[in-house]
Amino acid sequence: MLVVMQSSATPDEVRAICEKIEALGFQSHSVEGTQRYAIAVTGDLRGIDTCGIDEMPGVGEIIRISKPYKLVSRESKPENTVVRFPNSEVTIGGEEFAIIAGPCSVESRAQTLTIAEKVAAAGAKLFRGGAYKPRTSPYAFQGMGVDGLKILAEVRDQFGMLIVTEAVDAEAMTAIEDYADMVQIGARNMQNFSLLKRAGRSPLPILLKRGLSATLEELLMAAEYIMSEGNRNVVLCERGVRTFADHSRNTLDLCVIPAVQKLSHLPILSDPSHATGKRDRVIPMALASAAAGANGLLVEVHHDPEHALSDGAQSLFPNQFVAMLSQLGGVLPVVHRTLNTDPPKARKAAAQVVRS
């Protein structure tokens, strides 16, 4: 922390600040500039407010320096975190570029299995689909709940894909832990700290989406909540932030990808479907995400988006999904990554993943 004094501050005022800092148990170091004094404060300041120093006479401004996160930080763990799944060779965070595909919502057994068949045929190894849906309107479809989870479990059994699905509260998370392989925490719950703590006690890896107006530091602190409870398998996801721009649903902030990778060892995915809200923007933003260095994609696919109960307008058709994978295959070598998909249609004979 740095206390910048007003140019009119007197030496007595500087001295009073230093005494206050020492009294609080920290160390003070005053520096005299050409125009004003500054006082550097050292000691373990994490979780500490300004303790009233900002109100003392002569103080101009308080500047915080030390980062509040610890476990998520690359300084605490220089090597990249690679998330692994039991009895599976799939990884997230390493050289593989993860593709997590599927419908926004599990709407019915038939719809889900149809889409699963298509994304599996395209080579996907991770399947997404919401059984619990956070919807802006109480009158909109809220998800199938446990019945939806059972359908997702059937997808895993039948196609050997790992299942990623969202928990909207502690109760949903407990149910999900019985059926899925990875739990998503959505953007609107990124600072639902009770849910984050619960996620920290989950045996499953957590996919944590960035909030609509979350700073990089808040995103990392949300991950810190999870890690501080013991769960080290956290994957971040950029999904667009809210800005004045009105040409897409949200503004995909791809520059957060290298920024996360500099500060943290955690993997970060991109969700071009929710970011753009429009099908014809999904592939350009998917390719851009890969080129920016993302560790993978969360992408919506629907065989019949006209009749989707949610977010149909942003879902790729299965053939667009296949085309996207092909284009990604061209981009990824440039950033030294490989698609974590099987070759299309060659997947049938692949060994089934058996759940531990």
Q: Which of residues 180-209 bind its own copies (CB under 8 A)?
A: 188-189, 191-195, 197
Select from 15, 46, 201, 345 the one that contacts its own copies (CB under 8 A): 46
Sign of CA dihedral 205, 256, 77, 201: negative
Residue from the set 115, 122, 235, 241 that interacts with its own copies by CB under 8 A: 241
Q: How far is the CB of 348 from its own copies (least distance, A)?
A: 28
Residue 4: CB minimum distance to its own copies, A? 5
Question: Of 187, 259, 185, 200, whose CA–CA distance to 233 is shortest?
Answer: 200
Per CB under 8 A, the list member of 10, 65, 89, 348 interacting with its own copies is: 65
Among positions 55, 110, 351, 356, the unique one binding its own copies when judged by CB under 8 A: 55
Nearer to its own copies, 18 or 353 (CB): 18
Cβ nearer to its own copies, comparing 29 with 345: 29
Spatial neighbors of 134 by CB under 8 A, at least 6 apart, are: 166, 168, 186, 188, 189
Is residue 245 at the binding interface for its own copies, with CB under 8 A as the rule? yes
Rounded Cα distance between 211 and 241, Å, is 7
Helix (H) or strand (E) run with residue 329 in it: helix 318-331
Q: Which residues, 87 to 116, sit near its own copies by CB under 8 A?
A: none
Options 94-102, 121-129, 257-265, 337-345: segment touching its own copies (CB under 8 A):
257-265
Q: Which is nearer to its own copies, 185 or 353 (CB)?
A: 185
Strand partners, 236: 208, 268
Phi, psi of 25 (to 5 degrees): 95, 10
Q: What is the DSSP string of 206-254?
A: EEEEPPTT--HHHHHHHHHHHHHTT---EEEEE--B--S--SSSSB--T
Q: How far is the CB of 80 from its own copies (least distance, A)?
A: 16
The CB-of-159 to its own copies minimum distance in angstroms stands at 26
Length of the chain: 356
SS3 content of the chain, % helix, strand, coil (to 5): 35, 20, 45
> CB of 235: closest distance to its own copies in angstroms?
19
Number of H helices, E strands in the chain: 10, 15
Binding segment for its own copies among 47-55, 94-102, 109-117, 118-126 (CB under 8 A)? Answer: 47-55
Instruction: Give yes or no for residue 319 binding its own copies (CB under 8 A).
Output: no
275 is a contact residue toward its own copies (CB under 8 A): yes
Binding-site size, its own copies (CB under 8 A): 115
Q: Are 124 and 341 in contact (CB under 8 A)?
A: yes
Q: Which stretch binds its own copies (CB under 8 A): 1-9, 10-18, 153-161, 342-350?
A: 1-9
Q: Between residue 281 and residue 300, which ones bind its own copies under the rule CB under 8 A?
A: 281, 284-285, 287-293
152/165 Cα distance (integer angstroms): 9
Shortest distance, position 157 Cβ to its own copies, whole Å: 29
Is residue 254 within the footprint of its own copies (CB under 8 A)? yes
Asked if 213 interacts with its own copies (CB under 8 A), we say yes
Instruction: Return the SS3 of 334.
Output: helix
